[in-house]
Amino acid sequence: MAGNLIVSKPLRIGVAGLGTVGGGVLRLLRENADVIARRAGRRVEVHAVSARDRNRKRPVPIDDLEWYDDPVAMAESADIDVVVELIGGSDGVAKALVEAALDRGIGVVTANKALIAIHGHALAERAEAHDAPLAFEAAVAGAIPIIKAMREGLSANRFSAVTAILNGTCNYILTQMRETGQSFASVLEEAQKLGYAEADPSFDVDGIDAAHKLAILASIAFGRVIDFPSVHIEGIRQVTAEDIVYAAELGYRIKLLAIARDGGEAGIEQRVHPCMVPADAPIAHVEGVFNAVVTETDGADRTMIEGRGAGEGPTASAVIADIVDIARGRFSPVFGVPCADLEPFRPARMQDHRGPYYMRCTVSDRPGVIADIAAVLSTYDISIESFLQRGRSNNDDAPVPVVIVTHETQEAAIVEAVRRIDALASVREATHLIRIETFAR
């Protein structure tokens, strides 16, 4: 087919879910119809839609589209060539819709990271059985084409690690806390007013959203069966403005990172938690609602892609990129290799993780306190790299912060040491621990 020849038969799309992203997909497909047709090699037309409320006001008109109260029935219609699932949720109607489309042998495009993280392997097997494409670029990092980059652009490489900022809400909150000095609670309230955080922000701030995305990236990177339950998850609720100030003084910034690392015989790490990263590391300068993904491979070394991780435009852009690939007949195995070639996921034990740590202890301002803490650390073979203590209080019984940065040590050792330290009579509050990622080569 000549490069500028458009196939006469259009690709007929059914869109389920007409929220922010669904509306963005409809708008972009209409506004950029000519550009998309040239790149897809055929016209891409929305033929049908489905949502919970037919009468709700939409950002684009839908009166000329076929309406389905039941999205599964839409997927079963012979008039639909590709289903776009934008309902969300790991089960229920979203899962039933995707299964129905794959069973028909038609393409599925989804932005649903929870669905892929939890049921991805079973859906991939279903897609292979029916020779149907299942695409989910929009499920991870919004407009950043990281799935395509890892599955295709870096296909010649062995991955050793993927480190990413995958939740724009958390990154915005941590950025604002650093820039304004406000507390987590204050910045979260502002983020909710601005629409950057949901009324119930748990999915984002507790790390679950980033963990879903990390499980997907880890499967592609390491050729393993996806294993969301083995992801270690911590959120950012416990990060304080005080920690952010100390981080800056020590030469770090705090980010919620999603990290997958191949530990060889020890297994593969999958962890989401706040990290201190060197202030001169490129990922430390990814601010606000932006996402970034750093890959480490044997051939391409270290690469980083940054972009908007959510929102109408970025997510709709990624959805339509998958539609264009399906229109052109370009699609890869769901997780990079056929399901039969995916190896079982062997997770590393979190207690075996090794690295440096930031510790903030709140102690009574009296002689011998530091010696007691140092003695506990020594018992667990934990050495101190640096140490900060603010000036003495006028009240000997007033609490003061003591900040310690350790050399590399084992997670199990530092956790047990902190348990012992918190039992000391001079320690007034639970010790706050944050892992440090050095990005050393």
| Digit-coded pLDDT (tens) for 75-123 | 999 999 999 999 999 999 999 999 999 999 999 999 999 999 999 999 9
List, for residues 300-316, the tens digit of each pLDDT value.
999 999 999 888 899 99
Residue type at position 337: V
CA distances from 139 to 166, 168, 185, 216, 390 (A): 10, 13, 28, 9, 45
- Measured CA to CA in angstroms, residue 392 lies from 247, 384, 405 at distances of 21, 21, 20
Residue 244's pLDDT band (boundaries 50, 70, 90)?
Answer: very high
pLDDT value at residue 4: 53
- Total-model pTM: 0.94
Exposure string over 153-162, b if 16+ CB within 10 A, otherwise e: ebeebebbbb
Would the pLDDT of 71 be above 80?
Answer: yes
Positions annotated as catalytic residues are 213
Is residue 74 predicted with pLDDT exceeding 60? yes
Q: How many CB atoms lie within 10 A of CB 441?
A: 6
Check pLDDT > 90 for residue 132: yes
CATH class name, domain 7-139: alpha beta
335 DSSP assignment: T
Q: Tell me which of 396 and 118 has the higher pLDDT.
A: 118
What lies within 8 Å, CB to CB, of 69 at 6+ separation is: 50, 54
pLDDT of 1 reads: 41
Instruction: Report domain 148-308's class.
Output: alpha beta
With contact defined as beta carbons under 8 Å apart, do 341 and 389 qualify? no
Please say if the pLDDT value at position 168 is more than 60.
yes
Give the type of residue at 71. P
Q: What is the pLDDT of residue 197?
A: 85
More confident residue, 225 or 364: 225
- Euclidean distance between CA atoms 325 and 4, whole angstroms: 16
Residue 3 has pLDDT above 60, yes or no: no
Structure tokens at 290: 């932006």
Cα 249 from Cα 243, distance rounded (Å): 10
What count of residues does the chain have? Answer: 441
Q: Which pLDDT value is given to residue 329?
A: 93
CB atoms within 10 A of CB 413: 18
Q: Is the model's pLDDT at 394 over the cut of 70?
A: no
Residue 171 has pLDDT above 60, yes or no: yes
Contact 89, 188 (CB under 8 A): no
Measured from the Cβ of residue 92, the count of other Cβ atoms closer than 10 Å reads: 11
pLDDT higher for 437 or 142? 437
Confidence class of residue 393 from pLDDT cuts 50, 70 and 90?
Answer: low
Could you give the CA distance from residue 309 to residue 19 in angstroms, rounded to a whole number? 17
The mean of the pLDDT values for the chain is 93
Residue 2 binned pLDDT confidence (cut-offs 50, 70, 90): very low
Residue 71 CA to residue 95 CA, distance in Å, equals 11
Asked which of 162-166, 208-212, 385-389, 417-421 is least confident by mean pLDDT, the reply is: 385-389
pLDDT tens by residue, 40-65: 999 999 999 999 888 888 878 898 99
352-436 matches 7-139 in CATH topology? no
* Residue 132 φ then ψ, to 5°: -115, 135
Residue 224: DSSP 8-state: B
Answer yes or no: is pLDDT of 317 > 90.
Answer: yes
**All structural domains of the chain with their residue ranges:** 7-139, 148-308, 352-436
d(CA 258, CA 254): 13
Average pLDDT over every residue of 162-174: 96
How confident is the model at residue 55, as a pLDDT?
82
3-class state of residue 309 by DSSP: coil
Q: What is the distance between the alpha carbons of residues 319 and 150, in angstroms, rounded to a whole number?
A: 17
**Stretch 389-415: mean pLDDT:** 85
Q: Please give the pLDDT value at position 7.
A: 64
What integer pLDDT is reported at residue 395 of this predicted model?
64
SS3 141: coil
pLDDT of residue 59: 76
pLDDT on residue 346: 95
* Mean local confidence (pLDDT), 374-378: 95
Overall average pLDDT of the 115-136 stretch = 97
Q: Domain 352-436: what homologous superfamily?
A: ACT domain (3.30.70.260)
pLDDT reading at 391 higher than 70: no
Nearest to 235 by CA among 182, 294, 275: 275
Q: What is the mean pLDDT of residues 338-357?
A: 96
SS (H, E, C) 48-90: EEECCCCCCCCCCCCCCCEEECCHHHHHCCCCCCEEEECCCCC
